[in-house]
Each structure stands twice: as structure tokens, then as C-alpha cells.
Chain A
Amino acid sequence: MLPGNAMADTMMSIDPADYAIILISSVIILLIFPVLLYWGWKKGQFKDLEEAKYRMIEMEEENGN
């Protein structure tokens, strides 16, 4: 369906220096998330995740709605 030679016109050539910057920044960004996950887990961020859904119902009842 898609003529390849036409699509080739839309391809970009990436400069090696740009490529290195993109690669390094991508790795750094990707590393942030496991670190964040570990930090959150150590801090108890994932404890009792379901509590909030019960509290919101209780609060509604407390307020007579």
C-alpha cells in the first residue's frame, strides 16, 4: 500500500552527536523510574492502596449524602 520510495523522503538522518545525546538522556530517564519505584516502596507508598476507596464512601455517609 505505502510506496517505500515516497516514505523514504520523510525519513530523517540523525547526526551521531545528536544520537549520543538522545541515547544517554534516554537511559538516564529510563533509570529514574526503577529508582522512583524502589524509593516509593521503601517509603510505604504502596501500603494499603485500597484504603482511599472505602474512606470516600465513609465520608459521603458521614456527611449525610
Chain B
Amino acid sequence: MFNIKSRENSSSRNFLISSILWLILFTTFGFIVAIKFFAPEFLGQTSLITFGRMRPMHVNGVTFGFLSTGLIGIAYYIIPKLTGTKLFSEKLGNLTVWLWNLAIASGTVLLAMGFTQGREYAEYIWVIDVAVLITLLLIGYNIFKTIQNRTERKLYASVWYIMGTFLTFPIVYFIGNVMWHPDTGSLQGAVDGVFNWFYGHNVLGLWFTTLGVAGWYYFIPVITKRPLYSHLLSMIGFFSIVFVYTGVGGHHLLQAPIPEWLKTVAIVNSGLMMVPVLAFITNIFLTMRGRWICFIESIPLRFILIGAVFYFLASVQGTFQAFRDTNSYLHFSQWTVGHAHIALLGGFGFLVFGAIYFLVPRVTGKEIYSNRLTSYHFWFSTLGFVSFFCILTIMGLIQNSGWFQNISVATVLLQLKPYFIARALAGGMIVLGQYIFFYNMIMTFRGEVKTAKEPFFASPKLQRDQVKGEKYRESVPLFAIGGLGLFLTMFFIVVILPYLLMDSPPSDISHPYTVDQARGRQLFISNGCMYCHSQFVRPQDWGIGRISQPGDYFYDKPHLLGTERTGPDLAQIGGARPPLWDIMHHMNPRSVSPGSIMPNFSYLSDRDLSDLKAYIEGLGNRNLETQDFQPLVPELYSGRENIYGDTIANANSSNESGTDYADLIDEGKILFVQRCLPCHGGSGNGQGPYARHVNQHPANLNDRISNFPGVDYHFWRVMEGVPGTAMPPWKLSLTEDAIWKIISYEKTFVDGVVRVIPGDFSDGEAEDFGSKGIISPVKQDDINYTDGMKIYDLYCAQCHGIDGQGDGPASLYINPQPANFTETNNDFKTQGQWFWKVSEGVETTNMPPWKYVLTEDDRWKAIYYIQKNFSTPGVFNEKWRS
């Protein structure tokens, strides 16, 4: 197959054959990975096929093995056709086939053995990087020499795009893989993330996109026999891609601790991405005008056009999710996995499928074995992929909803299980389509040559001579200086400047790794833990820890920021679990975390497990503080002081401020009773009636507020609510003044109330009211007694105690102390006194005015229960029986 002979198109053919072989292998890997999401012990547990190793094998395999190999095969075919000459050297071309395949095969084996640099899309170790880079340069040399020998004066758009690819991508590869650091292929600190994603996104932008667009611009006009709608539009697309695409990588790090200006550059460029994308899709659809019948008749064109549409959708989605707000919601989930698949498999994968069907007869002289099988391949791939993409997108939204509400990974994973299964089924459908494709291709290659392969140009040398002196005048200098200049300009902005300027000292939680921790970190990388565990806390991740800062990563090389949260974020996990729990978790995850889908790492030695534990325990500096869970107060609220602070500080019954204080507590109490009591309870202990109906239990305000770092934190929480809980953002319906009054009242659950109005005042009001001869309208029977008991137990017992002795759970902090009914019941002379106290509450105490909460009947029932149950025997019958 891989004869190094000077046979025309043999390089292209051999790259295409290689692409087919890698496709089968690496999509099968993808299918196995998909199954491991719901059956983590599928195929047993050995290091070679553990999830964290199969995933990079799948990703690197399909990107470099299947897609890149196929696209290089396309480029090797297109360039001679469009330049009117032969490929400069088929021998060199076939040498690159060998080198390329050797690099991918070796890289895959090394990944299986755990040799990885741990940076997404840049996992291949340095030796493989060198082989890939040399191959890229040799391919580029072959292509540029071919272009140099061309007989065509003008360079068609596809040639521009391919030239652009081989001018820029070797630079991207060298810089992105940090190849001047062979040991790790990475930089120290957060800047490594910038380099990683400059590379990661430009594998898409300056490799797949430029090669892919070259393919689309070639195949669609050729198959439809209609010229491209606008060559100028394709030029605009070319220059905007090399400039704009180069700078979008930072949008992978919009919540990560990198410079804000760099994020803004990435966002602006991501928006501008629509320029080349719209230029492309407009060009394609206007080229198709009047030729849509070809879409029906030609299956290769069907693949190619569907690929173009998927590429367009992926690009629109990419721009949409690159804005700050959308990105903050959509990050860290299967949504992104769906996006990667629609771009790579949906877009470029379908292009390569169509191109192979179109090119194989031309480079082998053999007809495709079965059109029916080709059609099956199309429908299995298309329907399978659309299902696959939709499932991933839905899964992503479910995950994102969970992350946004700070719901734990364990809970979200249980919800995802049916989708994991559905995703594997859809993936299986895609893979089945590829097996059909593979069989069709085997049978095609086994077939006989039916059409003679003619050299495209009988006398290229002669034609070269005829145009001598004209060919270099056009296009190449403009392209080379302009295109490369634009690329280098953006490269300077998004890579060189951050490299020069990002310099953050170690943060408070950053520390050098011990020998054991460093070894554990290497195990973490070689087993691919970072594919499921991110290591940065975003501003919205208030439940995880403090927001990550650049200095947190001072000692990290490579960075392990991560892109996905299939497991919990580990940035500050140290100390959050007992050390030996980690070891049990690694040996058998489900023994300590029943819903976990983490692989079983029992194949690790005792020392490996111990070192891995040491690394994880050290993340975030092993935080053992008992009450260290508060996120930072946003700037908008940071430092805000209680506008009633002076009133509270000066509260004293002997001066005028005492009245102000009483009014403040009174108003705050009413607001609290109306808005907050349903969840937090009248005593603030989180035992309100609605607390029984929410997942996240309402806060015990005595405990919670006493641990707040400041009143600004309290104000922020009431104003904005608490994501992931039933606590709403009260700023939507209350003024700041009202919220400060509530806060002032809630503080009394910690500090107690200053009794500026003595109890005599309330007693006097009650006596006045009672003297009006108010009688309970509630019939004194067993039904109302039982109702009264339930109301009392739910609303009153938290302060007054089940036995009415004023010793409920909240009585430990309620000050002044709640009444003991077994003593005070005998004091009241009339039923009206009772009703007044319960309805209006008691001034400058935590006794609420229950008229804002309970109906008259309910209040009377509760009074009936209290009177009958807690009075001295005989007193009740004597005083109250009607």
C-alpha cells in the first residue's frame, strides 16, 4: 500500500487509506469511552484502557489520525490539480505518509502507556511532537515546491487556504506544544493555559478550518460543475480567518485567572469570526443555486454539503458561547463536547467522508463498490450524529443548570445516566455507519481498475515555460506577506504579550510540591484525571471555594485547569475529605461514593495511591478550617455598612434613640415575618413551614449569621439570593432600606434584642384589649385542640418548647428568653389578653406579630391548645371554659 514510488496521486491515495484505517480504530475507541460513562468498569480495569487514557487516544486519534490524515490526502490531490502540475515529489509525499502514520501509531501507544503531556489536544510527548512537526514541514515543502512549479498564473482560493495552513500551523504547533521545553512541553503558571488554548483552538482554526474550507471550495464547484459564486469573498474569508481565528483561544478561559484584556480580545475575535463564516456559507449556498439536484444525485456531495452546514452551525454556536454570560453558563459540561463533535465530526468528518468517496475512484481507478452501502453510511452517520449532538447538548444544559445552582456533581450524575446510555446508542449508530464505510472501501480497493489514470498534464514543463515571467507577479507575495503578517500580528497580541506580561507571585494557597505530591501529580496526569476534574473556581462557584487567582498556579507545570466537570472541581479539595477516604475512593470509587462513574484505580501500587492522595490532599493548601466556606463578596456589595448601624449601636431605653431602635426592630420584624419566616421560622432557626419542602435546607440564621465575615456579606446574600437554594434575590421586590431593616432584625438572632421597651408596655396594651370582652370564637373540642397542637408545634415550639416551658431549641440564643407558659399562663385574666399578645407580638423581643402569618381561627386554636395544655390543672376549666 505504501510503496514509495513516483506514482501520480499515490501520496494522496495512501493518506486517504490511512485516514480510513484510523477512523475505524479511533471511533471504536470513542464508542468504548462513551460506554464507560455509564458502565465505568466496562472491559475491566487495566491502566491501558482506563477512561483517562482512552479519551486522549480517541481525541488525538480522530483529530490527527482520521481527520488530519484525510485532509492532507485531500490537499495532496487538490494542489497539483489547481496548479496545473504534478506534485513536486510523490516519493517525499509517501515518506510523509510513513512518518505521519508512525507518529500517530507511536503517540497512541505512548498515550495508552500513560506517556502524556496532559494538555488537551497537545498530549503527545515531545518525541512525537518532533515527528509531527518534521512531517508538517516536509508536507509544506512538497506543497510549496509544487506551487512554485505551477503553470497556472492565478491561485485558486483552495490553494491560498492550503498554503496558509502550512505557513501558519507549524508555528502554532511549535509554540502551542512549547517544544523548547522537551521535558514537559509546558510553561509554568497560568500562562500555560493561554498557550494551550492558543494551540487547542487553532488546531481547529488554522488547521482543520483552512484545510477544510480549501476542500469545500474545491469539491462543490467541481461536483456541481459550477464556478464558485465569488472568489473575492473567499479571499476576504481567508484574510479574516488568519487574523481573527488566531486570537480566539482565550475564550476557553473566560472564567479562568488570565488577564481580562486577553479575554476581551478573544471575545471580540470570536464575534468577528462570523465574518469569514458568513462569507463561506454565503459563497457555498450561492454557488449551489440552480444545482441542488446534485445534492440528491451525488452522495459525496451530500456528505460534503452537510459537512459545510455542520461547520457553519458549529461556528455560530462557537461565537454564541464565547460571550461572557453565555460562556459562564455553558462551560464545564457536555455542551462543549457536543460543540467539539459538531465541528470535528459533523463538519470536517463529513467533508472527509464525501471527499474519500469522490477521490478514491480518481486516485485508484476503481469504482465505489456499492452505492447502497454508501447511502447507508450517509444515513447512519447523519441520523446517528444528529441524535448524538442533541443528547450531548441536553446533557450539557442539565449539567450547566446544576453547576449554576451549585448542585453537587454526585446529584447531577444520577440525572445524566439515561442520557449517557442514549449517547452511547447514538454513538454506536455512528460507529456502525463507519464499519459499513470500511467494508465498502475494502471491497472497492479489492475491485478491478476500470478507468485508466491519465496524468492531468502531459507536458507540465512546457506549460511552465510558456508562462514564465508572469506567474510570480500575482498572488503569492500578497498572500505570503499579508496572510502571515496578519497571523503574526494577532499572535503577538494573544501569545507574546501574555508571555511577557503575565507574572503573578504565588498566592496564599499556592505551595511547592513535595516529592510525593509531585509524583502524585504526574500520576494524576498520566491517568487522565484532568479530563473529568477541573481545577479552577469560577466567580459563580461559590459553593466550591474562593475564586481562583493567577498565583494559585505559580508552581504548576503543566496547568491542569480542565474543561469538563464530570467529577468535582479539585482546585481547593485538600482537607475537604479525610485522607484515607481518597485512597478508598481511588481503589473502589463506588465503595465510598455510590453514584460515582470514576474508573477503578486499583491497578495502582500502594505507593502510587499514597502519592496520588498526597497530591490531592495538598490542592488548595489542605484547608482544615471548620468555618471556611464563604465566597468573596462581589465588589458591588463589598464594604457596605448597615445604614441603621448607629441606631443599633446607640440603642438605649434612656434616650431618643431607643424609640428609633424600637421602630427599626418593629419594622424589620414585620418584614421578616412576612417574607422570611416561611423558610427560616419565627425563631430564625431554619425550621419554618416551607423548610419541609426545599432540598437545600434554609439557613439557621443564628449559626449562619454569626459566621458571616461581615454585614456586607449578609446584605449581598439577601439582595442577590443564594443560587442553588430557595433563597430568592430580594432586591427584586424590596428596597435597600427594607432589606437593611430585615438585616437589622435578623442580627438579633445572634446579638439578642435590646429591650428598650419593657414588657409592662405590652402587658398594658394586652389588658386594654382584653378588657373589651373578646371571647374565642373557636369551639373548644378535640378537633380544634389537635389543630391548635399542630400549629403550636410547627410555629411556636421552636422557642417555647414542646412542653411550653420556654426551652425550645431556639431558646439557646433567643434573648430575651421565650416565655415559659407553665408559669405565665396563670397571669392572664382574659382571653383578649392572649389574643393581643399572639396577634401583635411583643415589642423589642423576638415574639412575632402572628397576625401577619396565621388566620384568626388558627391563632385562637393555638391559644386554646396552649391554655389547655400548659395551664396549672384546674385553672383552665375555671377561667376559660365557656
CA distance A21 to B532 in the complex (A): 42
Flag if A3 contacts B632 (CB, 8 Å).
yes
Flag if B638 contacts A52 (CB, 8 Å).
no
Q: Which residue of B lies closest to A41 (CB)?
A: B478
Kindly identify which residue among A3, A10, A57, A60 contacts B634, using a CB–CB cutoff of 8 Å: A3
CB 8 Å contact bits of A7-24 with B (1 = contact, 0 = none): 111111010001000100
Flag if A49 contacts B232 (CB, 8 Å).
yes
Binds A, one of B148-156, B340-348, B678-686, B758-766: B148-156
**Residues of chain B at interface, number, CB under 8 A:** 59
**Chain B's nearest CB lies how many Å from the CB of A21?**
9
Flag if B156 contacts A18 (CB, 8 Å).
no
CB 8 Å contact bits of B233-258 with A (1 = contact, 0 = none): 00100000000000000000000011
Q: Which residue of A lies closest to B501 (CB)?
A: A12
**B456 adjacent to chain A (CB < 8 Å):** yes
**Chain A's nearest CB lies how many Å from the CB of B634?**
4
Kindly identify which residue among A6, A14, A52 contacts B155, using a CB–CB cutoff of 8 Å: A52
Flag if B227 contacts A57 (CB, 8 Å).
yes
CA distance A12 to B260 in the complex (A): 9
CB 8 Å contact bits of A31-43 with B (1 = contact, 0 = none): 0110010001001
Flag if A59 contacts B81 (CB, 8 Å).
yes
CA distance A55 to B225 in the complex (A): 12
CA distance A14 to B547 in the complex (A): 24
**B783 adjacent to chain A (CB < 8 Å):** no
Q: How many A-B residue pairs have CB under 8 A?
A: 128
**Chain A's nearest CB lies how many Å from the CB of B548?**
9
Q: Would you list which residues of chain B between 211 and 228 have a CB under 8 Å from chain A?
A: 218, 221-222, 225-228
CA distance A54 to B222 in the complex (A): 11
Given contacts A6-B632, A36-B481, contact A22 B221 (CB under 8 A): no
Q: Which residue of A lies closest to B227 (CB)?
A: A53
CA distance A22 to B157 in the complex (A): 34
Among A7, A8, A52, chain B packs the most CB atoms within 10 A around the CB of A52
**Residues of chain B contacted by A53 (CB below 8 angstroms):** 156-157, 221, 227-228, 231
Flag if B485 contacts A36 (CB, 8 Å).
yes
Given contacts A1-B328, A10-B258, contact A40 B540 (CB under 8 A): no
Q: Would you list which residues of chain B between 250 and 300 have a CB under 8 Å from chain A?
A: 257-260
**Residues of chain B contacted by A36 (CB below 8 angstroms):** 478, 481-482, 485
**B178 adjacent to chain A (CB < 8 Å):** no
**B454 adjacent to chain A (CB < 8 Å):** yes
**Residues of chain B contacted by A43 (CB below 8 angstroms):** 473, 477
Q: Which residue of A lies closest to B500 (CB)?
A: A18
**Residues of chain B contacted by A14 (CB below 8 angstroms):** 501
Kindly identify which residue among A33, A45, A57 contacts B221, using a CB–CB cutoff of 8 Å: A57
CA distance A1 to B729 in the complex (A): 13
**Residues of chain A contacted by B152 (CB below 8 angstroms):** 52, 55, 59
Flag if A63 contacts B456 (CB, 8 Å).
yes
CA distance A18 to B258 in the complex (A): 19
**Residues of chain B contacted by A54 (CB below 8 angstroms):** 227
Flag if B478 contacts A50 (CB, 8 Å).
no
CA distance A29 to B638 in the complex (A): 42
**Chain B's nearest CB lies how many Å from the CB of A29?**
5
Given contacts A29-B492, A45-B474, A51-B154, contact A12 B502 (CB under 8 A): yes
**Residues of chain A at interface, number, CB under 8 A:** 40
CA distance A10 to B324 in the complex (A): 16
Kindly identify which residue among A29, A49, A51, A59 contacts B235, using a CB–CB cutoff of 8 Å: A49
Kindly identify which residue among B82, B260, B325 contacts A7, using a CB–CB cutoff of 8 Å: B260
Given contacts A53-B157, A54-B227, contact A5 B634 (CB under 8 A): yes
**Residues of chain B contacted by A6 (CB below 8 angstroms):** 539, 547, 549, 632
CA distance A32 to B156 in the complex (A): 25
Q: Which residue of A lies closest to B328 (CB)?
A: A1
Flag if A63 contacts B638 (CB, 8 Å).
no
**Residues of chain B contacted by A5 (CB below 8 angstroms):** 632-635, 638
CA distance A65 to B486 in the complex (A): 37
Flag if B156 contacts A56 (CB, 8 Å).
yes
**B497 adjacent to chain A (CB < 8 Å):** yes
Q: Which residue of B lies closest to A57 (CB)?
A: B227
**B811 adjacent to chain A (CB < 8 Å):** no
Flag if B257 contacts A9 (CB, 8 Å).
yes
CA distance A49 to B235 in the complex (A): 9
**B230 adjacent to chain A (CB < 8 Å):** yes
CA distance A32 to B478 in the complex (A): 12
**Residues of chain A contacted by B231 (CB below 8 angstroms):** 49-53
Q: Which residue of A lies closest to B485 (CB)?
A: A32
**Residues of chain A contacted by B362 (CB below 8 angstroms):** 65
Flag if A3 contacts B501 (CB, 8 Å).
no
**Residues of chain A contacted by B732 (CB below 8 angstroms):** none
**B550 adjacent to chain A (CB < 8 Å):** yes
Q: Which residue of B lies closest to A13 (CB)?
A: B501
**B371 adjacent to chain A (CB < 8 Å):** no
**Residues of chain A contacted by B486 (CB below 8 angstroms):** 33
Q: Which residue of B lies closest to A22 (CB)?
A: B497
CA distance A57 to B482 in the complex (A): 27
Q: Would you list which residues of chain B between 139 and 174 have a CB under 8 Å from chain A?
A: 152, 154-158
Q: Which residue of A lies closest to B636 (CB)?
A: A4
Given contacts A36-B485, A57-B227, contact A1 B258 (CB under 8 A): no
**B84 adjacent to chain A (CB < 8 Å):** yes
Given contacts A36-B482, A52-B231, contact A60 B473 (CB under 8 A): no
Given contacts A3-B634, A22-B497, A63-B454, contact A45 B475 (CB under 8 A): yes
**Residues of chain A contacted by B106 (CB below 8 angstroms):** none
**Chain A's nearest CB lies how many Å from the CB of B538?**
9
**Chain A's nearest CB lies how many Å from the CB of B620?**
16
Flag if A11 contacts B82 (CB, 8 Å).
no
**B489 adjacent to chain A (CB < 8 Å):** yes
CA distance A29 to B634 in the complex (A): 39
**Chain B's nearest CB lies how many Å from the CB of A49?**
5
Flag if A11 contacts B260 (CB, 8 Å).
yes
**Chain A's nearest CB lies how many Å from the CB of B537?**
10
Flag if B156 contacts A55 (CB, 8 Å).
yes
**Residues of chain B contacted by A51 (CB below 8 angstroms):** 154, 231
**25 residue pairs A–B, Cβ–Cβ below 8 Å:** A1-B324, A1-B328, A1-B539, A1-B540, A4-B636, A5-B632, A7-B539, A8-B635, A11-B259, A12-B502, A12-B503, A14-B501, A22-B497, A29-B492, A32-B485, A33-B482, A45-B474, A50-B230, A50-B231, A53-B227, A56-B81, A60-B225, A63-B81, A63-B456, A64-B454
**Given A52-B154, A55-B154, 8 more pairs with CB closer than 8 A:** A2-B328, A4-B634, A36-B485, A51-B154, A53-B227, A56-B156, A60-B222, A64-B454
A-B pairs, top 3 by smallest CB distance, nearest first, are: A4-B635, A3-B634, A52-B154
> Which residues does A use to contact B, with CB under 8 Å?
1-12, 14, 18, 22, 25, 29, 32-33, 36, 40, 43-45, 48-57, 59-61, 63-65
> Which residues does B use to contact A, with CB under 8 Å?
81-82, 84, 152, 154-158, 218, 221-222, 225-228, 230-232, 235, 257-260, 324-325, 328, 362, 454, 456-457, 473-475, 477-478, 481-482, 485-486, 489, 492, 497, 500-503, 539-540, 547, 549-551, 632-636, 638
